Structure 1
Amino acid sequence: MTEDSPVDDDLLTIGAFAARSRLSPKALRLYDRLGLLAPAQVDEASGYRYYRAGQADRARLVALLRQLDMPLATIADVLDADGDTAAERLAAYWADVEARVAGQRTLAAYLRGRLSGRSSEMDENYVIETVDVPAQVVITEKRHTLADELPAWIGASLGRLEAAARECGGVTGAPFVAYHAEVSMESDGPAESCVPVADEAAARAWAERSGRAWQTAVRVEPARRLAYTRITKAQVAHPQILAAFEAVERWVAAQGLAYDGPCREVYFADWDAAGAQDPVCDVAFPVR
C-alpha cells in the first residue's frame, strides 16, 4: 500500500486532504503532533495519515487563525470551545493584539523623535522642579518584573501595602515605586513599591510576619531632594513615561547635579478616580 492509496472510500490521503484544506502536508503533520488536527486514521504498518473530508473545515479554520499570528496553543483553546466561548476567546486575543500594536505605534513615534534629534524639543512639554522630602519610615515590597507585568504589579503591591499601613499607624506620605535597575522587556529591575507609615516598631513587626510571602521589608528612607516632573494618568503609560524620565535626566545633567538614589514614580492622587488628563504621578530623581 502507498500513501496515495486510501484504505477506504471515505478517507483522503494526506496529499489529497492537504490540497482540499489548503494546508501543506508538513503543516498537517505539525498540527497532528500538537493535537490541533488529528488524522481520522493512521495506518499502523506504514504510519500513513488519512483524513475525512469533513475535517477540512477545521483545517481551514486553523489556517485562518494562523493568519492572525495566533499561537498554536491559543488556537487549540479556541477550537476546543463551543461557538460563543470560542468567539469570546478570539475577541480577547485580538484585543490583546490591538493593545500591543497601539503600544508599539506609540513607541515608534517616541523613537522617531529620539532618532531625529528632537528629544530636547520634547522636553519643553515638561516642567522640572525640585522638592525636599524629609526622612520617612516606609514599608516596601520588592519584585523582579518585566515591563509588561509592571503596571499590574504596581497596583496590586501598593494596594497590599496601603492595607498593611493600617497596622503601622497609617499612611503618612505619597506612595512611590523606586527602580533599583532598569525595568524593560529585557531587564527585570528590581522595582520596589514603598508606602510611608507612622509607626516604625509596628511596621517592623508587620514585615517580620509577612516578609516571606511578599518579599516585604521596612526601612527608613533618608531625607532627599527630588528633581521631578508631574505627569498625567495618560502619560504614565509606557512608552510615554520614558520621555518624562529622560526630560528630568537631561535637566539634572544641565544643572550639574549628581544622582542620590534610585529614580522613582511618586503616586500622589487616587488612580481609580483620576481621568486620563488628570495629574497623578511625579517622575523623580533624588539629587545632590
Structure 2
Amino acid sequence: MTEEGPVDPQPLLTIGAFAARSRLSPKALRLYARLGLLTPAEVDEASGYRYYRADQVERARLVALLRQLDMPLARIAEVVGAGGTAAAGLLDAYWADVEARIAGQRALAAYLRGRLSGRTSEMDEMFAVDVVEVPGQVVLTESRHTLADELPTWIGASLDRLEAAARDCGGVAGAPYVVYHSEVSMESDGPAESCVPVADEAAARAWAERHGAPRAVRVRVEPAGRLARTRITKAQVAHPQILAAFEAVERWAAAEGLTVTGPCREVYFADWAAAGPGDPVCDVSLPVR
C-alpha cells in the first residue's frame, strides 16, 4: 500500500504487447472480444484502447492452439469455459469428429482414384446387387432440407419420432427408410425424406392431422414395386463412403437394362445402435422397372 493507494500487482498490457505475448494478432483479439471468448480486462472509455492482464496470456495461447486444430470458435468457447477433465473430454469429442471426417474423405479419395483411373468395374465388384419386390405400404413421412454434416443426426431423430408416432397408427409395418429427392452434400441440401411404414392408414392420417404440422409429417401410400439394392455395413453408411454403393447400384441397373423410376433411398433393416462397424445395416436402393 502507498500514499496513492494499492499497487496493482499485474500491470495492464496494451493490445499490441498482449498480442505479441499471446501469439495472436490484434485483429484476432478484437474478434474474440466481440464473441466473448477473450474479453479485455479494461477498455479506455475515451480512447477505446484495450488492455489485458498478464494472467490472460495462458487462455489466449490455448485459444490460438485450438484454432490450429481448425476448431470452430463456438467449440473453443466451450472448451476454454469448461476447464480440467471436462475440457479434455470436449477436445476428445471434437477430434473424434475430425478423424471420422478424415476417414470419410480418405475413402472418397480412394474411390475417386479408382474412378479416374478407369477401375470402376473392379470397385463395383465390392457390392453385390440384386432386385427385390416390395409390397405397397402406407408410410408416415417427415422431410427436411439438410446438408451432409447434419444428415446423420436428423435421420436418427426423425426416424425415432416417426416410429414413436407409429405406435398410434397400428405399429411399424416395415423397415424404415430415407428417400433423397435431390442431392445431399456439403453444398446441396436435398430435401431428404424419412419414412416409416405403418399398419393403419386411417389412424395415420388422423395422427398427422392432429400432430403433424410442427414437423410437416405427412401420410403417403407407396405402391408396390421393385428395388435394385446392395447391402452395406454400418461403416459404409457414412458419407462419403456410401456414394460408391449408390453408383454401383446405378451402373448395375443400367447394365441390366432396368429403368430407374424414382429417387434413391436407404432402407435401414437392422438395429443401428446395437450394430458394429462391420455389421450389415442398410440397403442402398433404387426403384426400377
TM-score band by shorter chain is 0.7 to 0.9
1:71-220 aligned at under 5 Å gives the runs 71-220=72-221
The CA deviation at 1:216 is 1.2
| 1:8-36 superposed Cα distances (whole Å, 9 cap, x missing partner) | 99233333333333333443344334433
Q: CA separation of 1:202/1:9 partners in 2, compared to 1, >3 Å: closer, same or farther?
A: closer
CA distance in structure 1 between the partners assigned to 2:10 and 2:87 by the alignment: 33
1:175 and 1:28 map into 2 onto residues whose CA distance is: 49
Where structure 2 has 5 or more consecutive residues not aligned to the other structure, the ranges are: 1-8
Q: Kindly, what percent of the aligned residue pairs are identical?
A: 79
**How far did 1:205 drift?**
1.1
Q: Which amino acid aligns with 1:117?
A: G
Asked whether the 8 Å contact 2:147–2:189 carries over to 1, the reply is yes
Unaligned runs of 5+ in 1: 1-7
Amino acid at match of 1:200: E
Partner of 1:54: 55
Match of 1:280 in 2: 281
**Mapped contact 1:145–1:183 kept (Cα < 8 A):** yes
Shift of 1:272: 2.6
Letter in 2 for 1:55: Q
The DSSP-based 3-state class of the residue aligned with 2:220 is: strand
| Residue 73 of structure 1: how far off its partner (Å) | 3.1
User: How far apart, in 2, do the equivalents of 1:112 and 1:172 lie?
Assistant: 41
- Report the aligned-residue RMSD: 2.5
2:266 is equivalent to residue 265 of structure 1: yes
Give the superposition deviation at 1:224. 0.8
Residue 243 of structure 1: how far off its partner (Å): 1.0
Who is 1:255 aligned against? 256
CA distance in 2, matches of 1:132, 1:187: 31
Q: Please report how far the alpha carbon of residue 260 of structure 1 lies from its aligned counterpart in structure 2 after TM superposition.
A: 1.4
Q: Give SS of 1:280's match.
A: strand
Normalising by structure 1, report the TM-score.
Answer: 0.86
* Residue range with higher mean Cα deviation, 138-147 or 80-89: 80-89
User: Is the alpha carbon distance of 1:38 and 1:253 closer, same or farther for their aligned partners in structure 2, counting shifts above 3 Å?
Assistant: same
Inter-partner Cα distance in structure 2 for 1:93 and 1:251: 38
